[in-house]
Structure 1
Amino acid sequence: MLGFHLVGMSLVKLVPAHHFYQRLLQRINFSFVRPLVAPFYSAIGRPALDSVVFVKLLLVQHLENITSDRKLVELANLHLGIRAFLGYELAQPLPSHRTISRTRQRLPVAVFEACFTQVVGLCVQQGWVSGHTQVVDSAYIKANASMSRLQAKRSREAAVVTTTLGPAKAPPVTASTERLRHIQRFQAASRKAGPNKPGQLVRNLTHYHPTDPEARVAFSRASRAS
């Protein structure tokens, strides 16, 4: 009997009104999504995944820091707040992770950018985005530079002499004296632990690449230039 009543009960009533996804549902109108994706949806064939549900799922994926569509569906199946946010009752099956992946592949990047801009704008209107903090993301890109060509930067003493006599190609060391001592102690311990390892220990603070000065050693603590 208990299971029967739970299935028949509206899922929204089980989620507190102050829950994050419930507040998001009440304040953000996602109806803007359908006109954006309408040119990419066919009027014939099998019913497609509701575009509003799809965008909501992508938003949940971002907010919950999930990179797998399979994990996203698993979480939504277990999370009452997310189910209510998507508009699915307890007895309704959620979209397959394969359907989410196929829908993502069929839509152009411009649609995702437009949806993101619209959602952020609506959040700003609701006072949820203050704009006082900026976050910059980045990714490693393999440089077209050989580790074997790394060269040592100029010491402070050499930098002073070079400034007096004229410019030099090698950039000066900008690390503090204490930082350089720490690097020297670490390198000495590394050489003692692996005396037979080839190459030399390098750090971005003490070495640079003459062909591509912007290139950096990605993992300096364990990098050796042979």
Structure 2
Amino acid sequence: MITIQRDQLEMITLDQLVPPNHLVRKMEAAIDFTFIYDLVKDMYSEVGRPSIDPVILVKLTFIQYTFGIRSMRTNMAYRWFLGYGFHDKVPHFSTFGKNYERRFKDTDLFEQIFCRILMTAANKKVISVEHVFVDSTHVKASANKRKFEKKIVRKETRAYQGRLQEEINQDRENHGKKPFPPDKFDKEETKAIKESTTDPESGYYVKDERTKQFAYSFHAAADGNGFVLGTIVTPGNTHDSHILEPLVEQVIEKVGKPEAVAADAAYKTPAITSYLFNKEITPALPYTRPRTKEGFFRKHDYVYDEHFDCYLCPSGETLKYSTTNKEGYREYKSPKQICATCSFLSRCTESKDHQKVVTRHIWQAYVEEADHLRHHQEVKPIYAKRKETIERVFADAKEKHGMRWTTLRGLKKLSMQAMLTFAAMNVKKMATWTWQGPKMA
């Protein structure tokens, strides 16, 4: 006969219920969360009803983002981490949301928490900043893709726009052309977009015929050990290449200048390569396929002569410099009369006036140097580590930390989610790496 002992009285502590190697023990040992008191001291009043302990509030969010829990509702498993006993009342799941609206909304609290955790990891010597890996991922917005308005908006100004304008005018003067007047660059450029009526700050993202949705882009930079060093959130229709420069600047400010930056083909642009070389940072970028129409000569079939600043076409004719446009591209044009009778014309151009135009960006030399460097034995292994670092970060964030989609709306709240998700991932990794094991009595 089975003896049932479910009503037996036991004397036990909550500490005994937490396994010796549980992740919450490792996190508690890795970082002292009391630093939060200094960050929020100006956000609380000294009079009135006692508020929920801010460390408890932040620890609640770390439980949520570390274990990928969608709701703020907690259970007995996490009481130990919060410092609660068996019978202590856990804050209502809406408490953090209310405190966010009343206290944290317009502050940089979450960025400060992220930076403090990063600083702690650096002090523990677990961050390797020599090589930085940059990428982005889309997070599905909490918005119906069928509810939108079509709008005409101004194109965003790029970080390098001022530098580019100066060099365009300098290049035109070097070629005997008049520099563009300021109003030529200041002319407002617009684009047509779909704006969600549910979450206007999200961006309409089209990947293929099946993937069309409103989303946010989470841009991040990771080190060689997979620690996230910086993050920026943008609407989902923002091109990756526009964010690399501010993201690398963020990394330089927080942990120092890297020796090399690795990124995928979306970042292989004249602006990015020039920025990295001018910062004395080695770009580790991939091979990109030619985008020439099938059956036509490719760009590399036209040979650039740097000394005479011209191109030579496959038939040996010279394409001379014509102008530098306001996008920063030099235009080289072929002689119309000779091209009209050329046997290669059908493979060269479909232009009605039989003139071939080849463009070359004023920063193209930086792209060519980056292409040359990707063959070096020192650079090849850096790019290969992307799959072990930044790609792994995003895979883990989506699979284990609830980042496939969001229930929040607006850039500020999504920035908070990104900061807390990556901060939780950094704490988790740091806690695992620095764990010394349970102390023996």
The CA RMSD over aligned residues, in Å, is: 3.6
Give 1:111's match in structure 2, choosing from 103, 109, 112: 109
Give the match for residue 51 of structure 1. 54
Give 2:68's match in structure 1, choosing from 65, 70, 83: 65
Give the match for residue 185 of structure 1. none
Q: How far 1:5 sits from its partner (Å)? A: 5.4
Q: How far 1:157 sits from its partner (Å)? A: 2.4
| Inter-partner Cα distance in structure 1 for 2:75 and 2:62 | 16
Give the match for residue 98 of structure 1. 94
CA contact (8 A) 1:28 1:123 kept: no
Segments of 4+ moved more than 6 angstroms? 1-4, 140-143
Cα distance change, pair 112–160 in 1 and its aligned pair in 2 (3 A): closer
Q: How far 1:21 sits from its partner (Å)? A: 0.8
More helix by percentage = 1
1:59 maps to a residue whose letter is F
CA contact (8 A) 2:14 2:86 kept: yes
Give the match for residue 123 of structure 1. 121
Give the match for residue 26 of structure 2. 23
SS in 1 for 2:108: helix
Greater mean deviation of Cα atoms: 48-57 or 130-139: 130-139
| Inter-partner Cα distance in structure 2 for 1:112 and 1:128 | 22
Give the match for residue 34 of structure 1. 37
Q: How far 1:126 sits from its partner (Å)? A: 3.9
Taking structure 1 as the reference length, the TM-score comes to: 0.55
CA contact (8 A) 1:27 1:126 kept: no
CA contact (8 A) 2:292 2:298 kept: no
Give the match for residue 88 of structure 1. 84
| Inter-partner Cα distance in structure 1 for 2:134 and 2:85 | 36
| Inter-partner Cα distance in structure 2 for 1:146 and 1:95 | 42
Cα distance change, pair 160–133 in 1 and its aligned pair in 2 (3 A): closer
CA contact (8 A) 2:14 2:85 kept: yes
Give the match for residue 15 of structure 2. 12
Q: How far 1:121 sits from its partner (Å)? A: 2.2
SS in 2 for 1:57: helix
2:79 maps to a residue whose letter is R
Aligned residues: 156
| Inter-partner Cα distance in structure 1 for 2:61 and 2:95 | 13
SS in 2 for 1:96: coil
CA contact (8 A) 2:72 2:94 kept: no
SS in 2 for 1:136: strand
Q: How far 1:130 sits from its partner (Å)? A: 5.3
Listed as ranges, the gaps of 5+ residues in structure 2 are 142-149, 156-190, 195-290, 303-312, 314-333, 335-355, 360-441
Q: How far 1:111 sits from its partner (Å)? A: 1.2
